[in-house]
Amino acid sequence: MTKSINVAMIGQGFMGRSHSVAWCQVNKFFRPELRSVMHTVFGQENEDPTFGPLWGWQNVSHDWEALVKQPEIGLVDIVTPNFMHAPPAKAAIAAGKPCACEKPIAGTLQEAREMAEAAEQAGVDTFVWFCYRRAPAVALAHQLVKEGRIGEIRHVRATYLQEWGHDDVPFAWRFQKSLAGSGAHGDLNAHIVDMTRFVTGLNITEICGAIAETFVKQREVPPANLTDEQIRYNKSTGGGEKVMKDVDVDDAVLFLCRYDNGAVGSYEAARQATGNFNHNGFEINGTKGALKFCFEDMNKLWFFDQTLPRRIQGWSEILCTCAEHPYVGNYWPDGHLIGYEHGFTSMAYDILRKLNGEEPVVPLPSFTDAYNTQRVLEAAMISATEKRWVDMDTVK
C-alpha cells in the first residue's frame, strides 16, 4: 500500500511557488514510495487569498503556530523571509516533526546554531533547500570528485552574480538586515559555499581578504507600502511624495579562503553585476583534471582530463540530460532540457526517500550543514569588517 505524508508550507511568495511546484510534481515524475500530500499552506491575512487553491494546497491557514502542531501534519516546509525561519522551525522540531527550510536557515548565526542544536537534541530530520545541488550537472560533478577523476583539489573559484539590484529598484525586505540577515552575501554566497562544499567534500578552515560594499545607500519605499500619514509628513518636510529608506545590507561581498586539505579558494557574490541574470557557478582545479559549471547553462558540465596525452587534452562539454545522470531518467527523453524548477522537485524526492528510510540520490543538507555554511558567511563578514584573517574554529 502506498504511504503518504501531509506537508504544511509556511509562507508564500516566489519560494512558495517553487516549493508548491515541487510538491505537486514529485509524485508524478518519481512515484515515490512515500507520497507527499499538499495539506495546508500558511499565509498572512493580507496575502493573496488565491495562492493556496491556485498552487494545489487543500487548506489555507493564517495561524502557523497551530498549524505546525496539528497531529496530521507530517512535514513542515518553511519559505518565509529569513527572519521568520527560526520560530516555526523550532516549533516544528519541538512537536517532533521533520522540518525543511529555505536558505540561509536563519537571519543570524545564533538562530542558526539554536535551530541545529534543537534538531540534533530532538533527533528529527531536517533539510535545507540548497536546490542547486540537485542540478544533474552539479550532482555529476560531486560523483566525479568522489571517484578521484580530478585528483587532489588545489583551487576553487565560485561566483554568484545577479544584476537585479540596481539603483532604481524600490525598497523591499531583502534590503533590510532585520528581515534578511544580509544582502547578496546570505542570499547568493550561501548557495555557492554549500555547492562547493558538496562537490569537493572540503571544509573551509580560514578566511581572509574579504570585502563588503553597499553601493545604493537608500531606496524608495513603494508608494503602495506607505500610509497616508507618511505621505503627508514627507510632503510637509519638502520631500514630495517620495519616502526613502536606508539600506543596511551588502550589495556585494568577496572573500578568499583556505580548505582543510590546503587548497585555496575565492568566492564572490553581487546583485548589481550588470549583464548577469543568474550567473551561479564554479571552477574546481585538481591534480588530474578540472570541472566547470554555470547555472545559466545548467544542463552542461565541463570536464578537463589532465591524464590524457597532451595533444588531445581539452575541455569536454557534457550534456547532462540522459538517464545516466542523476534524476534525469525521471524527467524527459535524452537531450530534452530540464529547468530551474526541477531542482526543487528532485529535492522533494530525496526528502521523501529519506523520510521513508531510503538513501537520497545525493546527500541532503541538514540544519547542521546549513549552520556550518552560515559560519563561513559570518567569518567572511568579520574579515571584511575587521580587515583580518579569521580562523573558522573561532566562529561558533
pLDDT value for 354:
98
| Confidence band, pLDDT 50/70/90 cuts, at residue 223 | confident
Give 189-212 pLDDT, tens digit per residue. 999 999 999 999 999 999 999 999
Residue 341 inside a domain? The answer is no
- 352-367 mean pLDDT: 97
Q: Domain containing 111 — which CATH number? A: 3.40.50.720
Specify if 82 maps to a domain: yes
CA–CA separation, 20 vs 43, rounded Å? 13
Pair (106, 199) in one structural domain: no
**How far is residue 135's CA from residue 279's CA, in Å, rounded to a whole number?**
14
Distance CA 342, CA 348 (A): 10
Question: Which of 88, 70, 69 lies closest to 78 in space, CA to CA?
Answer: 88
For residue 309, being part of any structural domain is answered with yes
Closest CA to 255 of 269, 239, 274: 269
Run of H or E residues at 305: strand 300-305
Give the count of beta carbons closer than 10 Å to the beta carbon of residue 167.
Answer: 9
CA 56 from centroid of its chain's CA atoms: 23
Residue 46 confidence (pLDDT): 86
Q: Give me the pLDDT at residue 228, please.
A: 57
For the stretch 86-109, pLDDT in tens is 999 999 999 999 999 999 999 999
pLDDT surpasses 90 at 343: yes
Question: Which DSSP category does 385 fall into?
Answer: H
Q: Domain boundary residue among 108, 131, 154? A: 131
Would you call 251 helix, strand, or coil by DSSP? Answer: coil
- 292: in domain: yes
Same domain, residue pair 168 and 266: yes
Question: What is the pLDDT of the chain when averaged over all its residues?
Answer: 94
- Domain holding 165, by residue range, is 135-333+364-390
Q: To which H or E segment does residue 280 belong?
A: strand 279-286
Please determine, for residue 182, whether its predicted confidence score (pLDDT) is greater than 80.
yes
Instruction: Kindly indicate the confidence band of residue 1, based on its pLDDT and cuts at 50, 70 and 90.
Output: low
Helix, strand or coil for residue 9? strand
> Does residue 7 share a domain with residue 148?
no
Residue 230 predicted with pLDDT over 80? no
Is residue 297 exposed (0-12), middle (13-18) or buried (19+ Cβ within 10 Å)?
A: middle
What's the DSSP call for residue 317?
E
Same domain, 102 and 152: no
149 with 289: CB under 8 angstroms? yes
Same domain, 113 and 215: no
Q: Provide the pLDDT for residue 181.
A: 86
Residues 123 and 141 both lie in one domain:
no
Structural domain count, the chain: 2
Please state the φ and ψ torsions of residue 59, each to the nearest 5 degrees: -140, 160
Q: What pLDDT is recorded for position 224?
A: 73
Give the residue-averaged pLDDT of 222-243. 62
Last residue in a domain, options 61, 96, 131: 131
Q: Which of 98, 131, 164 is the last residue of a domain?
A: 131
212 assigned to some structural domain: yes
Q: Which residues are CB-neighbours of 355 under 8 A, at least 6 positions away?
A: 5, 34, 74, 75, 98, 125
In angstroms, the CA 134 to CA 330 distance is 13
- pLDDT score for 222: 87
265-303 pLDDT, tens per residue? 999 999 999 999 999 999 999 999 999 999 999 999 999
- Say if residue 391's pLDDT is above 60: yes
- Domain match, 105 and 8 both: yes
Rounded average pLDDT over 153-157 = 98
Residue 371 makes CB contacts below 8 A (sequence gap 6+) with: 105, 109, 112, 113, 115, 116
How far, in Å, CA of 178 to CA of 155, rounded? 35
Is 102 within a domain? Answer: yes
Q: Same domain, yes or no, for 102 and 140?
A: no
Question: Are both 120 and 142 inside the same structural domain?
Answer: no
3-state secondary structure 73-87: CCEEEECCCHHHCHH
Q: Read off the pLDDT band of 242 (50, 70, 90).
A: confident
Q: Is the peptide bond before 104 cis (omega within 30 degrees of 0)?
A: yes
Q: Which grid coordinates are listed for 134?
A: 540537485
pLDDT at 227: 58
Residue carrying the nine cell digits 507520497: 35
pLDDT tens for 61-74 read 999 999 999 999 99
**What is the rounded distance in angstroms from the CA atom of residue 324 to the CA atom of residue 311?**
29
How would residue 226 be classed by pLDDT, with cut points 50, 70 and 90?
low
In a domain, 21, yes or no: yes
Task: Evaluate whether 3 touches 74 at the Cβ level (below 8 Å).
Answer: no
Residue 270: inside a domain: yes
pLDDT at residue 110 greater than cutoff 90: yes
The predicted-structure confidence for 162-180, as pLDDT tens digits, reads as follows: 999 999 999 998 999 988 8
- Estimate to the nearest angstrom the gap between the alpha carbon of 169 and the chain centroid: 22
Could you identify the residue written with the cell 558538496? Answer: 198
Q: Quick one: 287 and 149 in the same domain?
A: yes
Would strands 244-246 and 218-220 be described as parallel, antiparallel, or unpaired? antiparallel
Q: Which of 192, 344, 383 is nearest to 282 (CA)?
A: 192
Does 236 score more than 90 pLDDT?
no
Q: In terms of domains, do 315 and 169 share one? A: yes
Query: Which pLDDT belongs to residue 278?
Result: 96
Instruction: Give the residue, 361 or 222, on which the prediction is more confident.
Output: 361
Cell of 348: 522533494
H runs (alpha helix) in 107-220: 109-122, 136-146, 177-180, 184, 190-200
The domain that contains 250 carries what CATH number?
A: 3.30.360.10
Do 65 and 86 have their domain in common?
yes
The answer to whether residue 233 scores a pLDDT higher than 60 is no
Percent of all residues in the chain with a pLDDT value above 90, rounded to a whole number: 89
